[in-house]
C-alpha cells in the first residue's frame, strides 16, 4: 500500500538538502570538508555547558528544567536577549522576543505566517538554502531581491502577478553562502523598497556576531527603529541564533519583532512543539551571561585565522579565471568558476580523486542557476587542512 496519493500538493516541492547529505561525508576517512557551514566542535564551551546543566538540574531548579513551559520561552533568557539586542542598536522589550528551536524554525514559522500559494518572497540570488526550503513548503514564487536600485517596487509588483510580495529576506552580515555584507546604503535601500511594497523584511542575523574586519553596521531593524522610534511601528523581523556562537546542537534561536507578529508566532509555536526545550534555554542563558562576549572574541580570533588561510591559499593555488569573495566575517567564501565548469561535476571529481568536499552553488539559487559556483566553508578545518584542500582543488581545476 502507498500513501503517496494522499500527500498534500506542497510535498512535491520538498527535496533533500544537499548540505545535509554532504555532512555525512565528515565521517569518511581522508576527506577534507569545506561543505557544512558548521562551527568547530573543539571550540564549543563544553565545560561551561556541563556546569550549566548541573546547575539547571540542581534541587532548586530541576522541576522547572524538566517541566513543560510557556511557548514564548524562558524569561531570563529573553531578558538577556533584550539587553543583547540593545547592544547592537535594537531597543525592545521582553514581549518582543520569542525563543525558537533554532533560527531555522523561525524561518519556517515566518513562511507559514506570510506566504499563501502564489505569493512572492524576495530573496538574494544566491541565498541561504535553508530559507529556500523553509519558504518553499508554502508554495510561493521567488524573485530576486535587488538592493542596487536596478528594480523599482512597480516591477516587483508586476512580476508578482495575482499574488502579493510578502517579504524581503536577507542576511545582511556575512551572508550564507556568499560571505558578503550589505553596506549601510544597501540596508537603507531594502527598507525603502519594503515601504514602497508594503511588505515585511526578514533579517537573518545568524552570523552577525562573527565580524573579523571593518566597523560593525547597524542591523536593518536598528535602522528602521531610528526612522520610526518604536519597534511596534517596524516591519523588520530579526532572527538570531546561538548556533554559530555557543552551540548548534541545543537548537536555541530567537525572533525579535513587533508584539502582534510575536503573538502570531507564539500561536504557531503552541501548535507545533509547544515550546523549545526548557533545560537547553536555561543552560544557554547561564553560559551566555557568564562568558558570551569572551567566547565570541575567541571565536573571532580562531575563525579570522582560518579565513585568512583560505583567502591566502586561493590566491596561491587557484588558476586564472577563478574568482572569490573576501568576507569580513562569517564562515564562507563564494567561488565563481570559469564558465562551462560545473560545480556539481567538480564535486564528483573532487570526492573521487582528491578527497575534498564543498557545496555546489546551484543549490543556493531558487531557479537552479549558478552552476559554475561553489561554496567553501573555513570554520571546521584548521589552517593546514585548509591550505592542503585548496591546493588539491586548484590542481584539479588545472587538469
Tell me the pLDDT tens digit for each residue of 151-202: 899 999 999 999 999 999 999 999 999 999 999 999 999 999 999 999 999 9
How far, in Å, are 136, 281, 316, 342, 345 from residue 339 at the CA level? 29, 47, 21, 8, 13
pLDDT at 203 over 90: yes
Tell me the pLDDT tens digit for each residue of 368-393: 999 999 999 999 999 999 999 999 99
How far, in Å, are 46, 62, 252, 294, 399 from residue 55 at the CA level? 14, 8, 18, 21, 57
Q: What are phi and psi of 352, to 5 degrees?
A: -75, -35
How far, in Å, are 60, 125, 253, 392 from residue 106 at the CA level? 31, 21, 8, 38
For residues 35 and 203, give the distance between their C-alpha atoms in angstroms, rounded to a whole number. 24
- Kindly give, in sequence order, each residue whose CB lies less than 8 Å from that of residue 296, ignoring residues fewer than 6 positions away: 209, 210, 245
For residues 391 and 399, give the distance between their C-alpha atoms in angstroms, rounded to a whole number. 13
How big is the CA angle at 335 (ends 332 and 340), to the nearest 5 degrees?
150
- Rounded to an integer, the average pLDDT of 323-330 is 98
Q: Which of 122, 144, 116, 106 is nearest to 194 (CA)?
A: 122
For residues 281 and 100, give the distance between their C-alpha atoms in angstroms, rounded to a whole number. 10
Q: What local confidence, expressed as pLDDT, does residue 9 receive?
A: 80
* Residue 335 near residue 373 (C-beta atoms within 8 A): yes
Q: Which of 83, 79, 91, 103 is nearest to 254 (CA)?
A: 103
pLDDT at 253 over 80: yes
For 4-45+293-398, CATH gives: 3.90.1150.10
Q: What local confidence, expressed as pLDDT, does residue 326 receive?
A: 98
Going by their DSSP bridges, the two strands 165-170 and 323-324 should be labelled as unpaired
370 C-beta neighbours (distance < 10 Å), count:
19
Q: What are phi and psi of 169, to 5 degrees?
A: -110, 135
**Helical H segments across 147-214, by residue range:** 153-160, 184-197
Q: What are phi and psi of 85, to 5 degrees?
A: -65, -35
**How does DSSP classify residue 234?**
-
Distance in angstroms between the alpha carbons of the first and the last residue of the chain: 50
Confidence of residue 395 (pLDDT cuts 50, 70, 90): very high
- The CATH fold assigned to 68-290 is 3.40.640
Tell me the pLDDT tens digit for each residue of 131-163: 999 999 999 999 999 988 778 999 999 999 999
Confidence of residue 17 (pLDDT cuts 50, 70, 90): low
For residues 333 and 363, give the distance between their C-alpha atoms in angstroms, rounded to a whole number. 15
**How does DSSP classify residue 341?**
-
* Residue 102 near residue 239 (C-beta atoms within 8 A): no
Q: What local confidence, expressed as pLDDT, does residue 11 receive?
A: 80
Max Cα–Cα distance, the chain, nearest Å: 65
**How does DSSP classify residue 165?**
E
- Break the chain into its structural domains and give their ranges: 4-45+293-398, 68-290
Amino acid at each position: 500500500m502507498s500513501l503517496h496519493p494522499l500527500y498534500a500538493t506542497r510535498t512535491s516541492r520538498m527535496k533533500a538538502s544537499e548540505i545535509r547529505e554532504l555532512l555525512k561525508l565528515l565521517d569518511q576517512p581522508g576527506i577534507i570538508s569545506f561543505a557544512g557551514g558548521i562551527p568547530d566542535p573543539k571550540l564549543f564551551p563544553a565545560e561551561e555547558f556541563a556546569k550549566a546543566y548541573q546547575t539547571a538540574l540542581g534541587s532548586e531548579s530541576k522541576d522547572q528544567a524538566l517541566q513543560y513551559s510557556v511557548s514564548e520561552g524562558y524569561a531570563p533568557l529573553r531578558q538577556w536577549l533584550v539587553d543583547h539586542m540593545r547592544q547592537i542598536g535594537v531597543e525592545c522589550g521582553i514581549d518582543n522576543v520569542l525563543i525558537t528551536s533554532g533560527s531555522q524554525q523561525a524561518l519556517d514559522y515566518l513562511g507559514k505566517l506570510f506566504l499563501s500559494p502564489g505569493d512572492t518572497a524576495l530573496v538574494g540570488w544566491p541565498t541561504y538554502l535553508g530559507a529556500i526550503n523553509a519558504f518553499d513548503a508554502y508554495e510561493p514564487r521567488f524573485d530576486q531581491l535587488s538592493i542596487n536600485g536596478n528594480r523599482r517596487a512597480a516591477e516587483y509588483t508586476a512580476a508578482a502577478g495575482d499574488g502579493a510580495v510578502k517579504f524581503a529576506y536577507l542576511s545582511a552580515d556575512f551572508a550564507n553562502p556568499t560571505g558578503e555584507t550589505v553596506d549601510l546604503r544597501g540596508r537603507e535601500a531594502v527598507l525603502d523598497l519594503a515601504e514602497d511594497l508594503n511588505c515585511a523584511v526578514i533579517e537573518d542575523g545568524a552570523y552577525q556576531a562573527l565580524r573579523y574586519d571593518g566597523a560593525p553596521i547597524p542591523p536593518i531593524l536598528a535602522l528602521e527603529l531610528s526612522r520610526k522610534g518604536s519597534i511596534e511601528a517596524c516591519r523588520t523581523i530579526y532572527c538570531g541564533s546561538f548556533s554559530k556562537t555557543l552551540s548548534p546542537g541545543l537548537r536555541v534561536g530567537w525572533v525579535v519583532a513587533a508584539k502582534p507578529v510575536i503573538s502570531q508566532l507564539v500561536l504557531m509555536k503552541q501548535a507545533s512543539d509547544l515550546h523549545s526545550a526548557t533545560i537547553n534555554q536555561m543552560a544557554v542563558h547561564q553560559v551566555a551571561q557568564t562568558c558570551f562576549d569572551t567566547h565570541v572574541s575567541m571565536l573571532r580570533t580562531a575563525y579570522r585565522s582560518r579565513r585568512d588561510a583560505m583567502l591566502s591559499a586561493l590566491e596561491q593555488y587557484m588558476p586564472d579565471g577563478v574568482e572569490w569573495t573576501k568576507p569580513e566575517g562569517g564562515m564562507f567564501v563564494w567561488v565563481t568558476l570559469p564558465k562551462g565548469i560545473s560545480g556539481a561535476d567538480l564535486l564528483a571529481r573532487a570526492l573521487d580523486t582528491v578527497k575534498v568536499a564543498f557545496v555546489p552553488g546551484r543549490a543556493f539559487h531558487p531557479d537552479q542557476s549558478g552552476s559554475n559556483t561553489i561554496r567553501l566553508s573555513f570554520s571546521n578545518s584548521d589552517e593546514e587542512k585548509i591550505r592542503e584542500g585548496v591546493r588539491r582543488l586548484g590542481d584539479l581545476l588545472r587538469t
